[in-house]
Every structure is written in structure tokens, then in C-alpha cells.
Amino acid sequence: MLNALPNIDPGCIDVPDTDRMRASPSAHRPRILLLYGSLRERSYSRFLTQEAERLLNAFGAETRIFDPTGLPLPDGAEVGHPKVQELRELSLWSEGQVWTSPERHGAMSAVMKAQIDWIPLSVGAVRPTQGRTLAVMQVSGGSQSFNAVNQMRVLGRWMRMVTIPNQSSVAKAFQQFDESGRMKPSSYYDRVVDVMEELVKFTLLTRDVSTYLTDRYSERKESAEALMERVNLSAAT
């Protein structure tokens, strides 16, 4: 069949194989990092994130919530800044992530975007987000909207993450949480349960084969060409 594809480098082709998707399952709990996009004292995106963490723990996940307080603006500090390092290390630790943002002016918040921007697509040969699962949620002050979750989906794809199909958008969030910050029973809460359950399932399904799932022909070809160039250069000298 490859003979019919003259532009393909057969040495770099890896025909998908179901046997390679049957890795021995990891024994540790799924590791989930949660990010939220507001610094307010009474932050509904933080409340929703904390509610999501309770559910994830109930579903058997190990969780970490990153506090964005003190995180500098992208390019406003060196990458060695303690909060930047904390965020990047948590991203590397994670096998899945939850991004929760308030909607501000029809978009995700600057606090949310700054966190995502500090996590690079690659650091040398290490990709801090590639192959990790992602769930997106938002809170709104008014009627239900999907602007923030739609934007975060685009960014998740750009960060090479496996963004799960389900998502949560909580309208009039100020009505959905009690004085202690706990979410009230509602269809919105039920959807959050759905999303966290699905995230754990997708994480368990993909975490042990994420390297195989994200292995790309174009990158293998580029690496092979670079190696050949180094070999030729060495031979010439």
C-alpha cells in the first residue's frame, strides 16, 4: 500500500497497531492538576475548581490545585521565578488537567490565559502538556455562555492535549454556591460530576499509551533527516 504513496518516507512510517495500545496499566492514582482563573476573595471559578477536586478525589484521582496568586505576567519575569517553576513542575507531574475560567468580556480571564502561556509547548525534548487529558469549565455572571470553554479548547488542542468531549458552563454562578463556597444541587452540579467522571476515564484510558498516541510521522521524519545531516557532516570532516 505504501507504494501508492510516493511522498511518504517508508522508513518513518509506523502503521497504527492495537497491540501497542495495550500497555500494562499504571498502579498509581491518576494525577490531575487543576487551574482556575480568578484572584477574587470570593472566586466562583476557584469554588468550582474545589468542587471538581472533591469529585476527582472521590473517583480515585490524586489532585493538585495551583494558586495563581503571585504568578507574573508572561515575559514579565524570568522562567526561574518560583511561581513559574511551581506551575511548570505541576504540569509535568500531571497526567490530566482541569482548566476553569470566569468569562470576562466574552473571553477567558487574563489570569487563566497567563497560566496557560507560562506552560510552553516544549522545553528541550520535554513537552509539559502533550498527551495529557484536559477538561474545561467556566463560570458566568449572567446567562449561560460557552465563549471561555471554546477558547480553552482551542488552546488545549494547541498544547497537544486530549481534550475530553464533555464540558461545564455554570450560568449566574453567584446563585449556584452557598456562603461557604459549596456548590448547590442542580443540573449544573450534575454536569460537573459528568465532566470529572469522564476526565478520570479518559486519563485511565490514555495515560499509559500517551507517548505512542502522540508519536508523529512528521517529527520522526524530521529527526531522521537531522540525524542523516549530522552523519554526512561528520563524514565530510
| Alpha-carbon distances of 55 from 28, 87, 97, 209, 212, rounded to whole Å | 18, 22, 14, 25, 29
The per-residue pLDDT for 32 is 98
What pLDDT score does 1 carry? Answer: 60
pLDDT band at 76 (very low <50, low <70, confident <90, very high): very high
pLDDT at 64 over 90: yes
Residue 9 lies in a domain: no
Closest to 61 measured CA to CA, from 191, 209, 204: 204
**Amino acid found at 45:** S
Is 121 within a domain? yes
Question: Could you tell me the CATH number of the domain that includes residue 180?
Answer: 3.40.50.360
What pLDDT is recorded for position 213? Answer: 81
Q: Which helix (H) or strand (E) element contains residue 134?
A: strand 133-139
Domain presence at residue 12? no
Task: List the one residue out of 79, 81, 53 whose CA is nearest residue 66.
Answer: 53
The segment with the largest mean pLDDT, out of 25-34, 120-129, 226-235, is 25-34
Rounded to the nearest integer, the mean pLDDT of the chain is 91
110 lies in some domain:
yes
Tell me the mean pLDDT in the region 130-152.
Answer: 94
Domain that holds residue 138: 28-236
Sign for the CA dihedral angle at 193, 196, 200, 201 comes to: positive
Mean pLDDT of 95-105: 96
Taking the whole predicted model, whether its pTM rises above 0.75 is answered as yes
Over its C-alpha atoms, the chain yields an Rg (Å, rounded) of: 21
Please indicate, yes or no, if residue 162 is contained in any of the structural domains.
yes
Q: Is 8 part of any domain?
A: no
Tens-place pLDDT, residues 163-187? 999 999 999 999 999 999 999 999 9
- The answer to whether position 7 is within a domain reads no
List pLDDT tens digits, range 20-37.
Answer: 878 888 999 999 999 999
The mean per-residue pLDDT over the stretch 99-105 comes to 96
| Structural domains in the chain (count) | 1
Confidence bin at 128 (pLDDT 50/70/90): confident
Residue 2 domain-assigned (yes or no): no
